[in-house]
Amino acid sequence: MSIEVRFGKSFHPGAKEAVRELEAQVGDIEPNALIFFCSPKYDHAALGRAIQSTFDCPAIGCTTAGEILGSEGYIEGAIVCAAIASDQLTLKPILIGDLRAFVSDANPRELAELACLEQRNSFALLLIDGLSMLEELVASRINNALMGIPLVGASAGDGLDFAHTRVYHNGAFHENIAVLAAVETSLPFLPFHTQHFEPTDTRLVITEADPATRTVTEINGLPAVEEYARVVGMDIDRLTSHVFAIHPLMLKIGGGYYVREIQKVNPDGSLTFFCAIDTGIVLTVAKPSSEGIITNLENSLNNIWQRIPNPVLLFGGDCALRRLEMQQHGELEQARRALSRYPFIGFSTYGEQFFGVHMNHTLTILALGDEA
């Protein structure tokens, strides 16, 4: 084998104890890269120090709206990891320490570190503060600099509290940052994304919005919450995250449709979205595809398995509202069974990035294989 990947998980509430359990599960390999995702309930200062002192290798990680591991499925209140040992792969975390400065700077220094990457042998993983409201701009700028090198990413979460989302770098967790992992490898890899919604003929025009806060106050010339509730056939007082998960909206970009998910109803009757939104945008009401979310998940994982030789790691960013949808329909056990056949690690996110597009209600994956 040219690569060995060991997975670990811990539900221990203590940061040091949880990392010790991960270390024991990783065993005797000497990893040269670590990917981990953790519950927002941890003492993150202690956790950051424990990760750095225990694993002597580059590491990337963030807080979640739920953790995902192939053998366990969708879990909560844990820390999960994938330790990678390979002399044919290097992972270099690049800190974007001030997101606002990064998107406003004409020539951000962080992008200079991408110039040496070779398109054929490189990909990039992005973890970003899920409450920054800058994912679109950050992903677009990075994608342009990568010039075709695959970019797969996800926005950090904190359950469904929407208060503090944190990304790990160099022994500490921070807000208002992103970490871009530049990966060079001679091993096969595949970027992939999937969703299980399709557009209907019902269209909504955003007639008043504040892009800076992703807030929509008016749809089709009417108060936003009233018009959304009308088109999905729900009473306003019944609009919850579960409703938004099964009645999302879609935006056409190029030849494809991408989900634009509502985060919450505000006291003034406006709607806050997880993605960028602006006056004049035309959104389409979405409906589930005929295959449904579980069959879509099974087919997507099988598709990846057929397309890449000897898969050893599937890194996934899965929208938190997909988890809510499966919970509502009692499908989490089916999802666990589907994932259990694959070397999957990921988390429930506040948003997903694929190349230069930021989206919702999507599963993004970077699959890594071994030499045939």
Q: What confidence category does residue 208 fall into, taking pLDDT thresholds of 50, 70 and 90?
A: very high
Place of tokens 């509290």: 161
- pLDDT in the model for residue 91: 98
At 91-144, the pLDDT tens digits run: 999 999 999 999 998 889 999 989 889 888 999 999 999 999 999 999 999 999
* Element at 262 (helix H, strand E): strand 262-265
Residue 1 has pLDDT above 80, yes or no: no
Give dist(CA 190, CA 183) in Å, integer. Answer: 13
Q: How far apart are CA 170 and CA 52, in angstroms?
A: 7
pLDDT in tens, 20-36: 999 999 988 999 999 99
**Token output for 294:** 């579980």
State the virtual CA torsion across 21, 27, 32, 34 in degrees, nearest 10: -30
Strand order in the sheet with 89-96: 89-96, 178-185, 122-128, 151-155, 352-354, 357-359
pTM over 0.85: yes
Query: How many other β-carbons are positioned within 10 Å of the β-carbon of residue 173?
Result: 23
The set of residues, in sequence order, having a beta carbon less than 8 Å from that of 255 and lying 6+ positions away, is: none
Provide the pLDDT for residue 256: 87
Q: pLDDT (tens digit, 9 = 90+) per residue, 322-368?
A: 999 999 999 999 999 999 999 999 999 999 999 999 999 999 999 99
Q: What is the DSSP string of 33-92?
A: EEEEEE-TTS-HHHHHHHHHHH--S-EEEEE-SSEEETTTEEE-S-EEEEEEE-TTEEEE
How far apart, in whole angstroms, are the C-alpha atoms of residue 138 and residue 126? 10
pLDDT exceeds cutoff 90 at 192:
yes
Q: List the single range of 72-81, 230-239, 250-259 with lowest mean pLDDT.
A: 250-259
Classified as helix, coil or strand, 358 is strand
**Local confidence band at 241 (pLDDT 50, 70, 90 cut-offs):** confident
Examine the pLDDT at 372 and tell me if it is beyond 70: no
Q: What residues does 317 pair with on adjacent strands?
A: 347, 364
Say which DSSP state 234 is in.
Answer: -
Amino acid in position 115:
A
Q: What is the pLDDT of residue 254?
A: 82
CB distance 20 to 46 below 8 Å:
no
Task: Taking the CA atoms of 47, 48, 49 and 50 in sequence, report the sign of the dihedral they define.
Answer: positive
Residue 189: φ, ψ to 5°: -145, 160
- The strand pairing partners of 123, in sequence order, are 183
pLDDT at 242: 85
Sign of the dihedral defined by the CA atoms of residues 299, 65, 350, 320, in that order: positive
Please compute the mean of the pLDDT values over residues 248-258 and round it to a whole number: 89
Enumerate the β-bridge partners of residue 69. 73, 345
Q: Of all residues in the chain, what percent carry a pLDDT higher than 70?
A: 100
Q: What is the mean pLDDT of the chain?
A: 95
**236 vs 115, higher pLDDT:** 236
